[in-house]
Amino acid sequence: MPIYTILFGVALMGVGVGTYVASGEEAGMQGFVLQMILGLLAVALGVGSIIKKEMRKHLIHGAVILATLLVLMGVVIPVIEFVSHLTGLERAKQMDMLRALLTVVFSGAYVYLAVKSFRAARRSRKDGTADPPSSSKPDSDPAPVQ
């Protein structure tokens, strides 16, 4: 999940940069800056979960909460805006809508992967098949020489 979290953050930042550049001079900085902050936060949570393995569970859960809030905001806000601006959208507004839609897609995919990972981890703990901490050297040679 840490790699998915980092990729999720990078995707959010990519959407922010892409829609800001594509909207040209009409673009407002608020949406762009917010998108960059959210992306950086997700990347920080992912990197933090790699560095601090004992905090991984908490950091990833924080990232999932972030993504869930983005999904909720990304569904409610664009629906309201879309209904009120159905026709005659200017380029900047179209990019705002695209940013929101892509944020929902990436956030929803991330939440799905996180729930899937959490369920697998719970199942493996319940079954007693949880992977022990990995070491740099295997306990035995996979192909013993005779």
Q: What is the pTM of this model?
A: 0.57
**Measured between alpha carbons, how far apart are the two ends of the chain, in Å?**
40
SS3 22: helix
**Centroid of chain to Cα 103:** 9
pLDDT, position 83: 62
Tell me: the pLDDT tens digits for 85-144?
655 667 777 778 778 888 888 888 898 999 999 898 888 888 877 655 544 555 554 555
Summarize the chain as % helix, strand, coil (round to 5): 80, 0, 20
The pLDDT of residue 142 is 54
Distances (CA, A) of 122 to 68, 88, 127: 20, 50, 9
pLDDT level of residue 74 (50, 70, 90 thresholds): confident
43 pLDDT tier (thresholds 50, 70, 90)? very high
φ/ψ of residue 143, rounded to 5: -130, 85
Q: What is the pLDDT of residues 2-30, one digit of tens each?
A: 898 899 889 988 988 888 888 776 666 77
